[in-house]
Structure 1
Amino acid sequence: MNNTLTLFICITGIYTSFITWGYLQEQITIQKFGPNNEQFHAPFIINLVQNLFGFIVGYIYLYWKTSNSTIKVSIFNKNLIKSLVLISLTQSLSSPIGLSSTNHLGYLLYTLSKSCKLIPVMIVQYVLYQKRFPRYKYLVVGIVTIGVVLFTLGLPSKKNSSDINGNLSIGLLYIFISLLLDGLTNSLQDDLFKKNQNLSGAHLMTGLNLVSFILTLGYTTILSNQLKYSIDFISQYPSILKEIVLYAVCGALGQIFIFITLEKFGSLILVTITVTRKMISMLLSVFLFGHDLNLNQWSGLFLVFGGIGLEAYLKLNQKKQSTITTDTKKEK
């Protein structure tokens, strides 16, 4: 009963936090201000605020989680910091590069593509760790890839404010780089957990957000003028600051529910929850922001989520078979 209640709270938390988070992300990305219809183009600043709130909430979560624990793991361990810096580097670059693609193509294609993390994760693990995968995973990757291709082919050839705002090729290149960085991030995280058995999700959340905040602050002050640009933009249009802060709070709270689900119920349940959440977010985006989808795009959309859903279903069956085999051996 307690597990059922905890799962219900986690599902509610993930849905509430990330559906709101997704809505605010699109709102911040596409809304226009003033007589000249200016848009806010500072993805590093959005991530900087997200990292700050993620660290604050993560540290509170870590303190609460470890206060009664006899096992203490410091996120300031030198060896751990090295791994966190590498993961944070790929993670902190992935999101702003991905968001930059929305300057060239529609937010829906960006969201759909970011749902296909399975492909770069498999490629990176195959190349770097020589890891082999069961056949059904290759089937899933094929279905997901066809879905993204169909959705891309369904984009109009002419520029449209809700679909293509710039150069399609550049937008797709940004998405490809972002997905490759996602693949590196997930593979490095898996490797970190294997090497540090006492490391929890709370440690990772706190450490990654701290290091990502420092790195992103460096990007905004040294490598770009986004900090000054953002200060000037927010001074002129202060309403966007409320949306960015609310976006960051939703993301930080959502991470808590994700890590609780991961620790208590495993990745299979988490994947099922997040896939359905993304589907709801995309459908809401279609209706709330007035996106018009043609047959190719609807087909691509359902192929992507159908492929990810198929993977979750096959994993569940595989896990059941493994459990039955284990129980049978114990009975013998």
Structure 2
Amino acid sequence: MTKRSSLELAVCVAGIYVCFLSWGVLQERVTTRRYEHPETGEQQRFKHFVFLNVVQSAIASAVALLYLATTSLKGLAWPSTALRNKFFQLSLVSVCAAPFGYASLGYIDYPTMILGKTGKLVPVMLMNILLYRKSFPWQKYLVVALITAGMTLFMLMNPKGHKSDKNANIPLAGKLWGITLLSINLLLDGVTNSTQDEIFRTFRNVNGFLMMFYMNLFSSGIMLLFLGFSDPFIGEFSGAIAFTRMHPQVLFDILLFGLCGALGQCFIFHTIERFGAMILVTITVTRKMGSILMSVFLYNHSLALGQWAAVLLVFSGIFVESFAKGKSHGPSSDAKKDGNAGSVDEKVALLKEDEDRMGMNKDDGVDVLNDTRSNGARKRKGKK
């Protein structure tokens, strides 16, 4: 990996960490805070989660549209039917995944759900293999195994872990059903991430912000349709509007929550475009480990010996990933590629393929090709 790519990845990691740590705090604030009516003093909690997701998707779509409009109007063109279908599929799967995660909490406790989420790398890899016949180098399987095993061991070795009283009396069949719901949630997440990878491989003119715009646009539409049809029965939309009128201070928290999530999505979609879904999921999974370690050092919490071993496993996985990328993108491999006699035609094809995406001027492309051909001719002449 080049220094520029490493710096770009570091910025993405920092952006994801900062935005989604803040997003988590704001999410907890919106969903757990008791908002007081300015006149009656009545206190209520905001429980309209679909409405909350609609607002977040709408804000994220607006942020992506603003970026595209100020950088390249070409990127705003209505996508082809095939690409539009892919975006709609992504949005539908993403919208359907969340309810399974929420429903699982009725049968399993929160730590169990978090434990399941730490294994998200596995379904992402599995869906890439099953749906798109993608193969991975052996190092990638090792990385997934190390990080998943490390996060699982860390959660299981928690000395302060305890079972929730709420779920203590649930029978085994109920807990198995909860795990089934969580597994469906993870598989749908895997479908989403693997399909995002496939879109970037198949459609060369797609960038992260274009995907972010259309995914959130379609997601907002799907959820608004749900709110419209279901409101006479469950009152989700009308209840949310009534709550915001009764407690206007919740609007500021909701908008800040949506904006923070939208900024985080900017880093997420850029990471998927440039580095792939596996790197993104590695970042999001290890973010939890980073948060835990920060808490340990800042607040003098103690970890069991087994948990330190788990930390070592996770960082071993990260080291293997970094080492493999550095080796595959090192200067020796680049030099070897440049020296190949048959590389001129490949470079012509690549330049033509990437011309629109990179914004390369055609004259620049001709100069590069002429330099490449002249270098090749000098090498052949020298050999003679």
**If the length of structure 1 is used for normalisation, what is the TM-score?**
0.75
Structure 1 counterpart of 2:262: 252
**Counterpart in 2 of 1:228?**
238
Q: Is 1:330 paired with 2:332? A: no
| Cα contact 1:47–1:96 (8 A) shared by 2 | no
Three-state SS of the structure 1 residue aligned to 2:165 is: coil
- Distance in 2, Cα, partners of 1:205 & 1:33: 32
Residue 86 (structure 1) aligns with: 89
For residues 334 and 304 of structure 2, the distance between their equivalents in structure 1, rounded to whole angstroms, comes to: 46
- Asked if 1:309 corresponds to 2:318, the answer is yes
Q: Deviations over 1:37-78 (max 9, x none)?
A: 9654433222111100011101001112214xxx55623433
Distance 1:37 1:73, change over 3 A: closer
* Higher alpha-carbon deviation: 89-98 or 52-61: 89-98
Could you list the per-position Cα deviations for residues 94-153 of structure 1 after superposition, in whole angstroms to 9, with x for gaps in the alignment?
A: 234334545665656545544533211111122223333333333333334434554258
Cross-structure match for 2:23? 21
> With CA pairs under 8 Å and 6+ residues apart, which has the higher RCO, 1 or 2?
1
Deviations 1:188-216 (A, max 9, x none): 11222222111111210111110011011
Moved more, 5-14 or 134-143: 5-14
Q: Percent identity?
A: 32
**Residue 57 of structure 1: aligned partner:** 63
- Cα offset for 1:331? 4.9
Q: Which residue of 2 aligns with 1:42?
A: 48
State the 1:254 CA deviation: 1.9
Range with bigger deviation, 171-180 or 198-207:
171-180
**C-alpha contact (below 8 Å) 1:10/1:261 kept by paired residues:** yes
Shift of 1:315: 3.7
2:145 and 2:189 map into 1 onto residues whose CA distance is: 19
User: Do the aligned partners of 2:103 and 2:178 also contact (CA within 8 Å) in 1?
Assistant: yes
Contact 2:35 2:250 in 1 (8 A): no
Tell me the distance in 2 between the aligned counterparts of 1:113 and 1:169.
13
CA 1:168–1:193: 2 relative to 1, 3 Å: same
Q: Deviations over 1:158-216 (max 9, x none)?
A: 416xx989875555444322211111111211222222111111210111110011011
- From 212, 218, 223, the equivalent of 2:225 is 218
Q: Residue by residue, what CA displacement relative to the aligned partner does 1:210-264 show, whole Å, maximum 9, x if unpaired?
A: 001101112333357232343344455544443222111001112223444566x
Residue 80 of structure 2 corresponds to residue 77 of structure 1: yes
| Whole-angstrom CA distance in 1 between matches of 2:310 and 2:35 | 31
User: Does structure 1 residue 140 correspond to structure 2 residue 143?
Assistant: yes
Question: 1:108 & 1:28 partners in 2: Cα distance?
Answer: 21
| Counterpart for residue 216 of structure 2 | 209
Change (3 A) 1:112 1:81: same
2 CA distance for matches of 1:103 and 1:295?
A: 30
1: distance between equivalents of 2:202 and 2:30?
Answer: 39
**Partner of 1:199: helix, strand, or coil?**
coil
8 Å contact kept, 2:109–2:164: no
Measured in 2, the distance between the counterparts of 1:186 and 1:244 equals: 26
Q: Letter of the 1:193 partner, please give it.
A: F
Counterpart residue type for residue 50 of structure 2: F
Structure 2 gap segments, 5+ residues each: 341-384
Larger Rg: 2
Task: Report how far residue 314 of structure 1 moved.
Answer: 4.3
What CA distance in whole angstroms lies between the structure 2 residues aligned with 1:93 and 1:105? Answer: 20
Q: Which amino acid aligns with 1:141?
A: V
SS at 1:157 equivalent = coil
Equivalent residue, structure 1, for 2:328: 319
TM-score when scaled to structure 2?
A: 0.66
The one-letter amino acid paired with 2:67 is: Y
Where does structure 1 lack aligned partners over 5 or more consecutive residues? none
Paired positions, count: 323
Partner of 1:119: 122
Aligned counterparts of 2:243 and 2:24: Cα–Cα separation in 1: 22
**Secondary structure of 1:132's partner?**
coil
1:295 positional shift: 4.3
- Tell me which of 279, 282, 290 is aligned to 2:289: 279
